[in-house]
Chains A and B, each alone.
Chain A
């Protein structure tokens, strides 16, 4: 009897609440939905696939868009499509270029010697001496960092396309693809390079693209006579996006005397784990995906062929405040090196631009199973923009949860 009374009272209270409660405080007009903006970790076809419709209208910062109106990109995209039955994403393109850069460095060094290759890479320090590939011209500064533009992609009609809103006016030059033909086949002892990435695990879509880009370039190089007349061979290192596994991979690579250079790792947290090992073993490495500023600093042996998080964070904040002209935002960030680094730079630039960061919400890639309270935290602030500094898996979950909560359309 008492239980039924309690239940009825509770039901009445709930009904009263629903009628008498004023609407939640809203930032703008009640029909203003939030816009999702993602850092480059969100740039993956699997973001669209996993978010199942909630991804529509997301803006994503990326170092490369597969814009086939450019002849260089079209050539690359066509050969990629022919071999792998899907379009290349930014990471495939950057890995493709990284392998190309490494091949040119080996040629310049004259021998597959670790120190000589490193010196050759360091000598590629201007537009003229740099490597010209599908992502533009790659050349390194004294740190090993590279200046590449940040493009804005948009999820339109279920696909990643180039957005009409671009903020970065710099250009790395036109995409170029080598048309070299072989006069004689590559022969002799293969030159071994290591490619490290998250080939299995939660981030395996990144790994799949990295593998594809590397395989395509090596195939093309070997068909065009190889490097120094010898075929190129890849040694794969699966770090699963995890820093302790990355250290294992780095140690394995370093211990292999035939392995002269590394393309990898992908996640910032993994490259940072490998940095000290590669420095100690004096083996040069070039990353096609790590953007954390620490990766190249303090080591003569690490290079990268894309921008850093300070540049990316500033571009993201500028895009939100100047291109989208929004005033308030909430930042979701992954608590690894990439997410935290990107979030810090975004917040710093947002403060300078007068963009109000209402809340920074951290999540844990390994253990967060329930995003609902985090979304609840964001939604009561009614932000105009939701910025996600993390990778595509969790970004897709956040996008879905935002749609469920009514934050986005």
Chain B
């Protein structure tokens, strides 16, 4: 029982990170109907820049990193990453605003490759680590079930706090502010919105900024959770976050978070219990190497049954 709870918590912890990254996908799709395939790389850049900033500030081999300083540099890196997001839009997507969606999609894939290779040029292809304050990920604040039981560390508490605050913040932004109304209007009908005096470019730029900011924090947290990372981490987390966004209903922010949580939890359960499923061809159970595949299988099943995603709205494609 404790083990099941542990797996579920593990899954929730990664799930909310996938959700944070998926929000970037879903917001951009809602506004300009583009799947920003370079979003995973933006998150990777966020992690890279955080690692660099922390390294510059406290020295590459430092052990005792002050918590406040860490938060400051991480936020700075995330803000800078938001800037990268806006830059990405300005350079790659804005010029294609009037063209077919396919052009923008191909450009997104191209930008993804470009950013990966840029990262190799700047940081090299080896493993990078983000130095965290001592005990941030290892000292258990709550411990359930003895030394080998469930451990809740400051890292977990901080990512949950951040996610909850972000969700409330986004809800407030989108539903309760005038700017949020502008975003919703642009998502519904950009032409009519611009006729009403809404500055489209400003709305799009802000969307990219917010999505990239959240994605950067998500990317940093994934990198800290994994332990080390390299330039290719954006590939996988981008893919999972995209799947999460689609699963929850592309265009829906709560859907993106829900999709992320579902995929994270299913992955963790798969890691734990796949070996109990008998292998169809050889003896023994299925190996844990399939855990990533299970998450995507769930996506396929749900989309087959409900093509618009869990919280997506049914409706024709607005060309």
Q: List residues of chain A with CB under 8 Å of any chain B CB.
A: 14, 17-18, 21-24, 26, 30, 46, 50, 52, 200-202, 204-205, 335, 359-364, 366-374, 376-377, 379-380, 382, 393, 396-397, 400-401, 403-407
Known interface pairs A335-B289, A373-B11, A404-B153; A397-B125 also in contact (CB < 8 Å) = no
Task: Give the contact stretch, choosing among B100-108, B222-230, B306-314.
Answer: B222-230
Cβ-defined contact, A397 with B153, below 8 A: no
B5: chain A residues at CB < 8 Å are 17
Indicate which residue in A17, A364, A404 contacts B151 across the interface (CB closer than 8 Å): A404
Cβ-defined contact, B144 with A377, below 8 A: no
Cβ-defined contact, A372 with B146, below 8 A: no
B11: chain A residues at CB < 8 Å are 373
Q: Which 3 pairs from chain A and chain B are nearest by CB?
A: A23-B146, A373-B271, A362-B289
**With the chains together, A373 CA to B264 CA distance in Å?**
10
**With the chains together, A249 CA to B208 CA distance in Å?**
41
Q: A359-B275, A361-B288, A374-B271 are in contact. List 14 more A-B contacts (CB 8 A).
A: A24-B146, A24-B149, A26-B147, A204-B124, A366-B232, A367-B292, A369-B236, A370-B267, A373-B11, A374-B288, A376-B10, A380-B6, A393-B127, A404-B153
Closest to A205 in B: B126
Cβ-defined contact, A372 with B272, below 8 A: no
Cβ-defined contact, B7 with A376, below 8 A: yes
A52: chain B residues at CB < 8 Å are 129
Indicate which residue in A14, A360, A371 contacts B227 across the interface (CB closer than 8 Å): A371
CB of B97, distance to nearest CB on chain A (Å): 33
B137: chain A residues at CB < 8 Å are 404
Cβ-defined contact, B237 with A18, below 8 A: no
Closest to B284 in A: A360
Known interface pairs A30-B147, A202-B127; A373-B275 also in contact (CB < 8 Å) = no
Give 11 CB contacts A-B under 8 Å.
Answer: A21-B149, A24-B2, A24-B146, A52-B129, A204-B125, A363-B289, A369-B225, A369-B236, A376-B271, A380-B2, A380-B148
B52: chain A residues at CB < 8 Å are none
What number of B residues sit within 8 Å (CB to CB) of A? 49
**With the chains together, A360 CA to B120 CA distance in Å?**
34
Is B145 among interface residues, defined by CB-CB distance under 8 A? yes
Chain B residues numbered 161-191 whose CB sits less than 8 Å from any CB in chain A: none
Cβ-defined contact, B227 with A400, below 8 A: yes
A50: chain B residues at CB < 8 Å are 127, 129, 227-228
Is B143 among interface residues, defined by CB-CB distance under 8 A? yes
Closest to A27 in B: B148
A374: chain B residues at CB < 8 Å are 271, 288
Cβ-defined contact, B125 with A202, below 8 A: yes
**With the chains together, A396 CA to B148 CA distance in Å?**
20
CB of A159, distance to nearest CB on chain B (Å): 15
Cβ-defined contact, B7 with A21, below 8 A: no
Cβ-defined contact, B289 with A403, below 8 A: no
**With the chains together, A263 CA to B3 CA distance in Å?**
48
Closest to A360 in B: B287
**With the chains together, A368 CA to B301 CA distance in Å?**
22
Is B291 among interface residues, defined by CB-CB distance under 8 A? yes
Chain B residues numbered 253-299 whose CB sits less than 8 Å from any CB in chain A: 267-268, 271-272, 275, 287-289, 291-292
Which residue among A14, A371, A380, A403 has the maximum number of chain B CB atoms within 10 Å of its CB? A380
CB of B60, distance to nearest CB on chain A (Å): 11
Which residue among A23, A401, A407 has the maximum number of chain B CB atoms within 10 Å of its CB? A23
Cβ-defined contact, B138 with A403, below 8 A: yes
**With the chains together, A201 CA to B225 CA distance in Å?**
21
Cβ-defined contact, A372 with B10, below 8 A: yes
Indicate which residue in B3, B7, B267, B288 contacts A362 across the interface (CB closer than 8 Å): B288
Is B112 among interface residues, defined by CB-CB distance under 8 A? no
Indicate which residue in B142, B148, B237, B272 contacts A24 across the interface (CB closer than 8 Å): B148
Known interface pairs A369-B237, A407-B148; A396-B271 also in contact (CB < 8 Å) = no
**With the chains together, A202 CA to B120 CA distance in Å?**
11
